[in-house]
Chains A and B, each alone.
Chain A
Amino acid sequence: EVQLLESGGGLVQPGGSLRLSCAASGFTFSSYAMNWVRQAPGKGLEWVSVISSSDGRTYYADSVKGRFTISRDNSKNTLYLQMNSLRAQDTAVYYCAKAVRMQLWLPGSWGQGTLVTVSS
């Protein structure tokens, strides 16, 4: 069974930084692309970033490009999201999501999410 457990969320001041982690189990982590998707309270979904399984290709939403960095450690089965220069509009629940299939990078299995609140 696929399990994804996000951590690292919390309250941070505008301009601050936070690093999210996603511990994966139940599948061959190194074989799948991984996504971060966020959802502000009561709002819709916003795709944030995706990273390929092993060659380091990364893509970002325009809203986070240059501020957020996605990375992974396949030896630790862990996905990361480094978030810098945080803004109030980054407040959301952040989900990590495993790609549907090796050839289809869309978010498939999702974690329970971790809440990031950006406020002074």
Chain B
Amino acid sequence: DIQMTQSPSTLSASVGDRVTITCRASQSISVWLAWYQQKPGKAPNLLIYKASSLESGVPSRFSGSGSGTEFTLTISSLQPDDFATYYCQQYNSYSWTFGQGTKVEIK
């Protein structure tokens, strides 16, 4: 399996902050990376696919970038609804993998 490593594991931030989460792949995955948001007790919600394509209906404050082995998810101005856990997922190989997650907490 391709291993996906997210950093940080936990992030404390305030409303209005710019937040960046990093995801690193153990080998090149080109641009085949997605980002999900999960709130407690809820199913995950797709935010970004193909590294930087914003899924329909997702607020424009979310953006993704990167290629190869290093990727970032940026929230330009953190909103109260954004406190959640974020996961990256690679879908380059025939065996897909998620990162371990990054929990965004209220500071």
Contact = CB atoms under 8 A, between A and B. Distances in A.
Interface of A: 44-47, 50, 59-63, 65, 95, 97, 100, 104-112
A106 B101 contact: no
A106 B1 contact: no
Contacts of B85: 44
Nearest to B42: A110
| Interface bracket on B | 20 to 34
Contacts, number: 51
B22 to A, nearest CB: 16
B89 A106 contact: yes
A47 to B, nearest CB: 5
Interface string B68-107: 0000000000000000010101010011111111000000
14 contacts: A45-B36, A45-B38, A45-B87, A45-B101, A47-B89, A59-B94, A61-B96, A62-B1, A62-B95, A65-B95, A100-B55, A104-B49, A106-B91, A110-B44
Contact of A50 (B46, B49, B96, B101): B96
Nearest to A65: B95
A44 B49 CA distance: 19
B51 interface: no
B31 interface: no
B46, B96, B97, B101: which has the most chain A beta carbons within 10 Å? B96
A61 B34 contact: no
